[in-house]
Structure 1
């Protein structure tokens, strides 16, 4: 038998299904979760930064407003203008005038936002800590010229303190007299400590820039006064925006909040927060790494386990396949079994059951064939016994007819009747075949035999045949009833004193045809009855008589109809015997 070559093994298919259904989705879900976690962490960080920036903006505006309001008060202060426009005759009067003007001290005392106040006077006067003469060097400064050019408008600059030489964020504003004469430039320095409070406590690197050009406050003093490089690449507009930049060699996101101080026309401030993406992603990356190793380990273990399962599954499938191949070749002897209690073991069990059933059918067919051959042999033996003297049946019939006619000529009708019955009986028996005959024909043969026996026994023998009308439609195997009737007369009635009686009853019971032959003869004792039953059911028993005995009848029934049918004997010693034939109902 040719076996079709397998293109893809079941084990490979199962592994592929596992990878498609389990491994690949887990990897995709893991990648999606990693991306989602990173995105959530980044968004949460940006949200926190925006909240912090809003608070910093409020604090920074408070500082700017304080400084701006101070400049407004000084800008409209008439005492200051009077002091600046008055000509003093002596230095003493000038010093006394300085001392009579304590406004700057008061502002410095009450406003922490102000680090220092300077007024660069246009007139050439002796200076003190607050009032400074704007000489040619000062007037050449860009911040001074810018303040003068704005005609009293506010400017924010980053400049050096005249006395300390330290750089500060400062507000500059030109002040004019009532006659519109330039009196000088007011400079209010913002306290760095107050700027520090704006960004203090922020988790990320945050600094303040002026006009995107100079860093006016940074946690690291080395960065103050320097230009932030990433603004050179920025073209974004708006109050708040997020940009991706390189900062100190690292990829970062920069959150920029634009602030326009009150009454400022040209200047803007920026609160810039450096968000180190890689740093904030360390925790999600660590979680992802741990999850990756856990998932990889789980997948590895699961692949090993599924591999073990597939290997076991494939072995069992292969065993089932090999067994089916053996069954297909005709080997139905399946001794081993497949371990387990799943569908494969059930299929194997069903295959084993089917193989046994097929083997049983084959055996039954084989046994039936043997029995059929044995039955034919028995039938031939019986025919041989019956036809041992049949050299020329027609010669025998003619001879018997001659004897009958001679008896009639001698006026002996009884002998003629016997010869006539014997001739009919022999003709009927000799013309029998190995095919079933109607019950009516079988009973006619029995009646011929009984009429002959009545001539022999006279009034000592009587008989009765009783049957249901429905049984006449059935056929039975020939020469089954006559041998039983013959056995009843010879063994039951010959040795009986008094009248003998034989009753033949035919009836139907479910799927069976029941034929009973009952006599009131001498009966059979228990021991002999047991021997008869044993011999009757012994296939190897050989009868030494010339008649068709009970053993022959029983074996013919078993061979032709099967073991479910046969002859049964019941007898009571001294009372009689009943022999029952149980045959199938057949009309063919």
Structure 2
């Protein structure tokens, strides 16, 4: 799951042209290459397996033919072994050479075997008894007895032994079956050697499509169509290949890669020897045509992919170029420049989107022109209207005249010995002076506290004992600056809407504390409070920038919006109220000192 999210995250950061090219390579190009390679390799495997199957069938036939030849040779060896006439021939004592020749003539068995069995090249019996030698009966002198094949046959005590040995008379190396023969008293008479005809072995492998080998005990090659290998060691067998049955060897032979299908079998009654019929399949030769097909197929695939990649490249380049043009135009429009080029190449969906964007830009530009001109006229009219109002107000009330008038009234009250009226007029004069001299720049918070104090004192004179207040200012708060007329409207709101509707005594507590990031002003009254529905409505109204109060007082909405406008959304008024118990309003003001105010 994590890997999937990681891949999708990386994919999202790629450009469209890279995504298109990547998707094409992953979904089309790479699968085609893999499928093409798989099909070609599968075809090559099919051809190779077919060749192996064909070789397996051929080797089965070769094994069957060899088994037939070897069985006849073994049968002849058995007949010679049990022939009593031959044993009498060798056990009798002869007084003259003539008697020996006559005895040989009375025993024509070997000639009959050679006459009727083509599988036999010749038969030789190496006698232990010193008698006259002829073509078949040979005296085993000390040299013969030292031969390995002779000693092996004697050591096996009558068991069959297959060897590759020299013909005594011709010196030709042939495959032979040897066997020790014993007389009536179990005395060694000699060793029988039956040589297998090379022509019969040739007939076995003749016509085979692949080079065939007949080997003895995985050591000696006893027959091959190429005579240079006959009698040599079978080098394609290793110690790892010493196994029985049918198997395939994957190796190198004659400096080329081959597969050798081997059938390993033991002729009847041959307990110590085994023969191997091997068919050598040259892999490179067999795979020559499939490889050519593979190369041609691969070239066709590469050619098709090259053309397709070239075409997809042209498409991606054109697509990317027009997307970039569309993006740059949209960026230009987003920056407020609606004078865009209306033309783009192509007639597809991107072109349609671009033309729609150009049309929209043109329409927006017309609307902006109309609205801008209208707004300029409206703002000009409003500014003139305000200037006229201010001028009218200024012409109606001269601040110095107002201050002087209030001071005259205060002096009259002192002369008439009415200190209460004098006090009210004095505080009102200070409030009026403070209000009329206000600017749009922050003022020391002490001035706002003084204004609020004058206002509250007037309210005490107004309500008498029914109203009281408490002002708590934490040390350090007086060092900061705030915008004018932020706290007094909140106190005024608490008195007008909270305390005036109440018949009991009213109380207002103002607390000013310094927090980590801001100054907190809390105005708490014990007035009438308000229902929860009204509280929710007022909270929503505070955050409504389009709300406009047609009253004459500076309301909570104005204070809240001024703070948010100048300092951000985290500042402003928070309000909580319980019907019948009172209302608490909390004002959050940023901490601004004198040097910060001057830099601002």
Output the TM-score relative to the length of structure 1: 0.56
Q: RMSD between aligned alpha carbons?
A: 3.1
Query: Equivalent residue for 1:43?
Result: 49
Q: Deviations over 1:40-86 (max 9, x none)?
A: 33333333322222221111111110100111111112222233333
1:243 is the counterpart of 2:249: yes
1:14-413 to structure 2, matched below 5 A, reads 14-234=20-240, 236-328=242-334, 329-331=336-338, 335-340=342-347, 342-355=348-361, 358=364
Q: Secondary structure at the match of 1:241?
A: strand
Q: Secondary structure at the match of 1:170?
A: strand
Q: Shift of the alpha carbon at 1:333?
A: 6.6
Q: Secondary structure at the match of 2:213?
A: strand
Change (3 A) 1:366 1:143: closer
8 Å contact from structure 2 (residues 338, 364) kept in 1: no
8 Å contact from structure 1 (residues 338, 348) kept in 2: no
Which residues of structure 2 form unaligned runs of 5+?
1-11, 379-600
Output the CA distance in 2 between the equivalents of 1:159 and 1:23: 64
Q: Deviations over 1:149-180 (max 9, x none)?
A: 22222111111011111000001112222232
Output the CA distance in 2 between the equivalents of 1:241 and 1:335: 78
Output the CA distance in 1 between the equivalents of 2:267 and 2:14: 76
Output the TM-score relative to the length of structure 2: 0.55
Output the CA distance in 2 between the equivalents of 1:333 and 1:52: 83
Which residues of structure 1 form unaligned runs of 5+?
1-5, 373-588
Q: Shift of the alpha carbon at 1:189?
A: 0.4
Change (3 A) 1:326 1:150: closer
8 Å contact from structure 2 (residues 94, 100) kept in 1: yes
Q: Shift of the alpha carbon at 1:103?
A: 2.1
8 Å contact from structure 2 (residues 244, 265) kept in 1: no
Change (3 A) 1:363 1:45: same
Aligned residues: 366
Q: Shift of the alpha carbon at 1:219?
A: 2.1
Output the CA distance in 1 between the equivalents of 2:112 and 2:242: 42
Q: Shift of the alpha carbon at 1:110?
A: 1.9
Q: Shift of the alpha carbon at 1:361?
A: 5.5
Which deviates the most, 219-228 or 281-290? Answer: 281-290
1:505-524 to structure 2, matched below 5 A, reads none
8 Å contact from structure 2 (residues 245, 263) kept in 1: yes
Which deviates the most, 36-45 or 296-305? Answer: 36-45
8 Å contact from structure 1 (residues 206, 271) kept in 2: yes
Change (3 A) 1:267 1:7: closer
Q: Shift of the alpha carbon at 1:148?
A: 2.1
Output the CA distance in 2 between the equivalents of 1:289 and 1:333: 54
8 Å contact from structure 2 (residues 338, 362) kept in 1: no
Q: Secondary structure at the match of 2:346?
A: coil
Output the CA distance in 2 between the equivalents of 1:35 and 1:232: 29
